[in-house]
Amino acid sequence: MEPHPLDVVVVGGCGHVGLPLALSLADCGYKVGIDDIDGVKIEQVRAGSVPFLENGAEELLKRLLPTGRLELASNPRLLERTQTVVLVIGTPIDEFLNPVRKVVQDCIDALLPHLSDGQLLVLRSTVFPGTTDWLDGYLKRNNRDLKVAFCPERMVQGHGIKELKETPQIISGTTAAAEEEAAKLFSGIAPELVVVTPREAELAKLFNNAYRYIEFATANQFYLIAKAAGVDYRRVSDAMKRNYPRARGIPSPGLAAGPCLMKDTAQLAAFAQNQFSLGNAAMLVNEGLVLHLCDDLRRRYDLSRMTVGLLGMAFKAEIDDTRASLSYKFKKALASLAGAVLTTDPFVTTDPELLALDEVIARSDLLILCAPHAVYRDLDFAGKPVVDVWGFLKNANVIS
Ligand SMILES: NC(=O)c1ccc[n+]([C@@H]2O[C@H](COP(=O)([O-])OP(=O)(O)OC[C@H]3O[C@@H](n4cnc5c(N)ncnc54)[C@H](O)[C@@H]3O)[C@@H](O)[C@H]2O)c1
């Protein structure tokens, strides 16, 4: 018997972006194929379990599996049964902070035998500007005639299922037909479509992320200036923001990290031939915050005689993802300064060195809030000194 056709196949469909998208597409009625090279994650998802923290995803997955609208395989042959392919693989930067275009090319090379003329191929990863046109040309040079679109993902990690329904979807295509078909695909899940050219869409996505990263850097630099002046930044922040709408958007200071913001700022800097001074300054401020705090602690304490506890190893609050988490930069920097460094996180499951929160509090002389998970908010940490850049803790003995 011929296997049934699929409305869409998501390549990288077990990833942080791919899975919420695949589930959302299936939820609005599409028959969705999930192709992912990670066979372990495929098995996990097939068994009804989401491999990372994503609000609402597991309930949705459990509801969708019995409908038969989801098909999972670690096999690009799934692509042979659809007219629509969405690509959401990771797009890293290298040791020179430059994008690794080869990742996209290698993936396309592996998919080529399974792609066919007339298919819609939607690029959804965050890419270096020009990648969409390059992909279109690359397929043509390989004698393939596909409709190529770029429709970037802009969800906040951990809230993809909700945000996909609420966020306008940027649509672009290398031809009118590609644009039209991509718009049709996303009209089922997005509340609004914003149609632009591929180059505009690529820049819009990178500008969105770089702007957010610069906002965090601004708050971090304000914090450092206030701190150097011996002023409590929490009081300054309250004075700036309370009932003053123009300051409402200033974020709190804190460790600004994760797999996207710095990477995408670096991609934009590379695209701008390093003439992105604000972006480069933001990287220095955000990445430098950890070393600044370590230096400050080194001056105030004899760290070599102390045990330091790090609270929250995920890259941000309420998730389990440690990719590019600055908590680990802290851990590394403190390893050569402190007597011992202990780490804890209520969500992270991938780090065998993590200890229980109670043990970290009991054994530490000094604590540092790295990820402001809600569970920490009201604790007093047995009166021990705590570094809280975020201004997040309610009852702790905060020392900065
Ligand atoms: N994480 C976010 O919040 C977020 C938000 C917006 C955009 N993005 C962008 O989306 C893209 C994906 O990010 P992510 O966080 O989901 O990454 P991820 O690593 O969580 O997911 C990528 C998935 O692709 C799979 N994969 C890699 N190569 C493959 C191949 N050749 N065939 C099939 N599967 C393959 C991996 O196994 C993995 O499951 C990146 O470009 C990222 O910048 C991420």
pLDDT, tens digit (0-9, with 9 covering 90-100), for 349-364: 999 999 999 999 999 9
Q: What secondary structure letter does DSSP report for 43?
A: H
- Is the minimum distance from the CB of 341 to ligand 1 under 6 angstroms? no
Distances 58 to 20, 52, 198 between C-alpha atoms, Å: 10, 10, 33
Work out which ligand 1 atom sits closest to the CA atom of 160: 3
- Is the minimum distance from the CB of 38 to ligand 1 under 6 angstroms? yes
Looking at residue 2, what is its pLDDT?
Answer: 66
Residue nearest to atom 27 of ligand 1 (CA): 89
Mean pLDDT across the chain, nearest whole number? 97
State phi, psi for 34 to the nearest 5 degrees: -115, 115
Q: Is 329 helix (H, G, I), strand (E, B) or coil?
A: helix
Q: How far from each other are the two terminal CA atoms of the chain, in whole angstroms?
A: 67
Asked whether 280 and 269 are in contact (CB, 8 A), the reply is: yes
Closest CA to 400 of 234, 190, 241, 219: 234
CA of 383 to the centre of ligand 1 (A): 42
- Is the minimum distance from the CB of 11 to ligand 1 under 6 angstroms? yes
Q: How sure is the predictor about 282, in pLDDT bands with cuts at 50, 70 and 90?
A: very high
- What is the reported pTM? 0.96
137/182 Cα distance (integer angstroms) = 19
293/227 Cα distance (integer angstroms) = 10
pLDDT, tens digit (0-9, with 9 covering 90-100), for 367-397: 999 999 999 999 999 999 999 999 999 999 9
Asked whether 67 and 24 are in contact (CB, 8 A), the reply is: no
- Is the minimum distance from the CB of 267 to ligand 1 under 6 angstroms? no
Residue type, 383: G
Closest CA to 89 of 10, 7, 201, 6: 10
265/279 Cα distance (integer angstroms) = 6
